[in-house]
Amino acid sequence: MAEDTGSAPPRVTIRDVALAANVHVSTVSRALDPSKRSLIAEATRERVVAAAKELGYQPHLVASGLRRGQTLTVGIVVPDLGNPIYAPLARGATHALEGANYMPLLADTQDDHERLARFLRHLAERRVEAIIATAARLDDAQLLVEIAQRGIPVVTAVRTVSSTGLPAVLHDDTAGGRLAAEHLLDLGHERVAQVRGSLEVEPFVRRTEAFTAAVTAAGATLTDGVPPVPHLTADEGRSAALALLDVDPARRPTGVFVQNDVMALGALMAVRDLGLRCPEDVSIVGYNDAFFAAHTDPPLTTVRLDAYQVGHAAGVLALELIADPGQEHRGSSVPPELVVRRSTAPPGSGA
């Protein structure tokens, strides 16, 4: 009996498919190329596809891309993979890209400008076909424009920077901030507050402005006595909420809008630390509808940001820009949705 050397079987080539289908190699190439398959008669194309499937043929995408001057890669840059919204966002973008045989290259900047600059320039040097940037702050505008001016399509998503004029997939943060305010106001809260994210990030600016405008228009009291939170962590959210709530009960807000669900976890901790109850003493509204929001104690009312949908739309937009870079593509907007759970109630509901 022959010894099993454990070597891999030889790779099936395009010539093997041509021989099995009894056609020329060039016919196989066209039949399996989405952009050229219409040049081949349907019966021949079906015969080639059947032969390729039977033989287990896999096209050499790198070689094919290089022949066309393409790398078939798209960079996806996120600020923090620990933030629960970025995994589904990356998954949505990946699902859009892989349908066109594009490979995503994922980079996590840890919300650091220097890392963002290094990753963007590194991806440009690797000749990616496009970049989906979700990690930009407002002062990164020049950097994004610099990369786009190299001829690489740049799509911003979630963390958009409007001043760049780059194609973007927006989450409507203005509508989201307004939803949070209207929910608390409709419940009867007259003293409310916000735990804000960094005002160097455009979505937090829009959420802050919309929430403030809605509360002011209703004549309610807004007690924003703490500065924006620099890092979106539960500890930072807890510290900010403690500063808001550890005051005389006559001045304590009865409703708090926390602009990120991870920080909202910390706010729930702060309520317990102070011997208060949520929602009987303090109602809390989060933002994003992270996977854990339905499982907190109490379950968190939050504004849903459909990160998968945003990522998928960004992937589709990147492909459109690759295929037709001269066409004007302004992007799209994904609407928010208020998800009401048990962390909100009328003020004093447990008295």
Q: Where in the chain are the domains? A: 14-59, 71-171+307-333, 173-305
Confidence label for 12 from pLDDT (cuts 50, 70 and 90): confident
Q: CA–CA separation, 220 vs 191, rounded Å?
A: 6
Tokens of 291: 């996977």
User: Cα–Cα distances in Å, from 105 out to 84, 102, 143, 166, 306?
Assistant: 19, 10, 19, 20, 22
Contact 231, 80 (CB under 8 A): no
Same topology for domains 14-59 and 173-305, yes or no?
A: no
pLDDT in tens, 179-203: 999 999 999 999 999 999 999 999 9
Q: 71-171+307-333 in CATH: which number?
A: 3.40.50.2300
Tell me the fold of 173-305: Rossmann fold (3.40.50)
The share of the chain scoring above pLDDT 70, in percent, equals: 92
Model pLDDT, residue 1: 45
The CATH number of domain 14-59 is 1.10.1660: no
This prediction has a pTM of 0.81
For residue 155, which phi and psi values (nearest 5 degrees)? -110, 125
The pLDDT tens digits of the residues spanning 245-294 come to 999 998 999 999 999 999 999 999 999 999 999 999 999 999 999 999 99
Instruction: Report the C-alpha gap between 72 and 346 in whole angstroms.
Output: 54
Are the C-beta atoms of 293 and 261 separated by less than 8 Å? yes
User: Side chain identity at 109, as an amino acid letter?
Assistant: T
Q: At what angle do helices 234-245 and 261-273 cross, to 10 degrees?
A: 50
